[in-house]
A = this chain, B = another copy of it.
Amino acid sequence: MRLAQALFAPRAVALIGASGDARKNTARPQRYLRKHGYTGRIVPINATRDEVLGERAYRSVADAPFDIDHAFIMVEEVEQALEDCGRKRVPVASIYSNGFADAGPAGVDRQRRLVSKAKSLGVRLLGPNSMGVVDLPGRVALTVNAVLEMDAPPAGGTSLISQSGTMLGTLLSRGAARGLGYAKLVSIGNEADLSVGELVELLVDDADTKVIALFLETVRDAERLARAARKAHAARKPIVAYKLGRSALGEELARTHTGALAGTDVVAVVTTTGGGAASVVDRLGLLGLELASMHDLTMTSTQDTYRTTLETLLASAECDAVLAAVGSSAQFHPEFAVEPIVQAKRAPKPLAAFLTPHAERSLALLAERGIPAFRTPEACADAFAAFFAWRSPRAEFGARTTIIFGPSPEFPASLGIPVAQHAIVQAPLFEHSLLYPVALKRLDLEHKTEAGGVALNIGSHAELVQAAERMAQPRLLVQTMEFGLTEAIVGYRDDPVVGPLVLVGAGGTLAELYKDFAVALAPVSEAEAAELVGKVKGLAVIRGYRNLPRGDVAALARTVSALSRLALIEGRPVREAEINPLIVKAEGVVAVDARLVLKG
């Protein structure tokens, strides 16, 4: 029989380890198969009972007196159960049991042995650590996922393969709430045998499947998946993948040598769903927030453990905020999901909740108790980022000063900013008393460099005269050449919406190419200016980066603060001002070019 049929449309299913206690997880597959109208044969396998929840039960798969298409293994002795399946010629086994690659190096070895045994027995494996498969149009609910408590999940043309069992429930419940139905849903677990790629190939051939959705924590066989994706594309079936770990991949590819930024805000996470929590943590990473610690309470959690873990983190100095992520229990048992969060002893530290399934009642309960609760990882992470972006209000600057300033090249000097020595030279002699080397600049152009209006590094008067004659201007500006460790741009702008702003950026083309600048409301103190300078990435080269010589960051900050004080001039006559470049040296800074635009 074909693999797809055994997996998704088995004529008989063996439930190995089926419990007679309807409240247990291991009773769920039987309950869900019945509840959602499975038309095949259900065969409970139980070591001690002849009847389980009203069905005839057997001690072993081997004892069942008819063919089994699909076994669902929920016992600890997975190896024994698998051997029974092999002898019975069961073509596929889904394994809910865990303790394999999900459980450290010993588990990895156990999994390797399991796979080789399955191969020799001719049994294909889904899992281990899989929550099973669902085929909604086919009425097969072979799963332990509590989302199947739902009465009538809508069928539709999307099929899902999920590496997180919880996220399978989440996507099914949220889809149902939004009118989006599913065809097949597969919890792929550890992917020991059946891989995402192979399952995509099966779904490409599945008539009910129009769209293939993937929830991925990693990619275990990129080549097979790529091949399957090409096959899906050729069949005009779109694949929509949600892949965790974007922030980690970005970091690794950048191979940054700078280490974590000092003072990054850190968030601790308590969760009952690894995949759900990871989706928020991933986004936090993209926003520059770091994970302090992750407490995954899946399986073992009780209300008390959850609450005390939260309380410990809220009281601890090791994190700046706490996120409580809740999986499937949030949907059908809001009391259970919400109570420990609501009851936890609060601290001034922010606490927020993220609920993965469709769980409007739990969201409302939490909000009513003053705990921000989110339904998307994006909104949740954005809220943390916004919280940490908050700064206390700036003090009002009282006295306004009056500053007198002359025409463009001199105005920085009137603010106390050092300016390169300069003089105006006139044709035909172009005499001056500055030391060489010098720079020669036209006085009448805004974008001098592009227009050939600048000559740098002129070493002698003869060269100067040559360059000046090329520019063919009666009056020119000559400046002492200045050399430093880097260039910066310092700007001021009276914005019609937000008021006066000061800007500092990396010099040359960097501020523009990379938008590498930092902005604040003007005026700023020297301390505030220093903080601003610290935000400019390109200025890392003068902050002691990779043993490069340090520049005079304090003098740069003084300059930023000085320019920002244009905001204090009575009547605020200045619309824009810019020093570009400002040369930063090991000691001191010097303005080499400046521009000033008055209002009106």
- CB contacts under 8 Å to B, within A289-321, are none
Residues of B within 8 A of A1 (CB): none
How many of A's residues come within 8 Å of B, CB to CB? Answer: 62
What separation, in Å, do the CA atoms of A15 and B20 have in the docked complex?
69
Instruction: Provide the main secondary structure of the chain A interface.
Output: helix
Which of B367, B378, B498 is the one whose CB lies under 8 Å from A179?
A: B367
What separation, in Å, do the CA atoms of A363 and B179 have in the docked complex?
8
Mask: chain A, 345-387; 1 = CB below 8 Å from B; 0 = not: 0000000000000001001111110000100101100100000
**Is A410 close to B, CB under 8 A?**
no
Which of B218, B360, B503 is the one whose CB lies under 8 Å from A253?
A: B503
Q: Contacts A233-B392, A364-B178, A396-B230 hold; do A512 and B255 have CB atoms under 8 A apart? A: yes
**Is A64 close to B, CB under 8 A?**
no
Residues of B within 8 A of A151 (CB): none
Mask: chain A, 223-248; 1 = CB below 8 Å from B; 0 = not: 10011011001000000000001000
What separation, in Å, do the CA atoms of A376 and B364 have in the docked complex?
18
Cβ contact within 8 Å between B250 and A179 = no
Cβ contact within 8 Å between A519 and B253 = yes
**Is A537 close to B, CB under 8 A?**
yes
- CB contacts under 8 Å to B, within A526-556, are 537-538, 540-541, 545-547
For the complex formed, measure the closest distance between the CB of A210 and the CB atoms of chain B, giving whole angstroms.
10
Tally of this chain's copies: 2
* Nearest-neighbor residue (CB-CB) of A498 within chain B: B222
**Is A262 close to B, CB under 8 A?**
no
Mask: chain A, 442-475; 1 = CB below 8 Å from B; 0 = not: 0000000110000000000000000000000000
For the complex formed, measure the closest distance between the CB of A30 and the CB atoms of chain B, giving whole angstroms.
31
Residues of B within 8 A of A498 (CB): 219, 222, 249
Cβ contact within 8 Å between A515 and B254 = yes
Cβ contact within 8 Å between A179 and B365 = yes
Residues of B within 8 A of A379 (CB): 376, 378
For the complex formed, measure the closest distance between the CB of A521 and the CB atoms of chain B, giving whole angstroms.
8
For the complex formed, measure the closest distance between the CB of A371 and the CB atoms of chain B, giving whole angstroms.
10
**Is A514 close to B, CB under 8 A?**
yes
**Is A398 close to B, CB under 8 A?**
no
**Is A411 close to B, CB under 8 A?**
no
For the complex formed, measure the closest distance between the CB of A103 and the CB atoms of chain B, giving whole angstroms.
20
Q: Contacts A509-B546, A519-B253 hold; do A222 and B180 have CB atoms under 8 A apart? A: no
**Is A429 close to B, CB under 8 A?**
no
**Is A513 close to B, CB under 8 A?**
yes
**Is A48 close to B, CB under 8 A?**
no
**Is A516 close to B, CB under 8 A?**
yes
**Is A406 close to B, CB under 8 A?**
no
**Is A100 close to B, CB under 8 A?**
no
* Nearest-neighbor residue (CB-CB) of A395 within chain B: B230
Residues of B within 8 A of A519 (CB): 253
Q: Contacts A222-B498, A497-B222, A540-B513 hold; do A393 and B230 have CB atoms under 8 A apart? A: yes
25 contacts between A and B (CB under 8 A): A177-B360, A178-B373, A179-B366, A179-B367, A218-B497, A226-B393, A227-B396, A245-B497, A249-B497, A253-B493, A253-B517, A254-B511, A254-B515, A255-B512, A258-B512, A376-B378, A376-B379, A378-B382, A449-B546, A450-B546, A509-B540, A509-B541, A513-B537, A513-B545, A514-B537
Name the 9 nearest CB pairs between A and B, nearest first. Answer: A179-B364, A179-B367, A222-B499, A179-B368, A254-B515, A450-B547, A230-B393, A178-B367, A514-B514
Q: A178-B360, A230-B393, A513-B541 are in contact. List 4 more A-B contacts (CB 8 A).
A: A218-B497, A257-B512, A450-B546, A513-B545
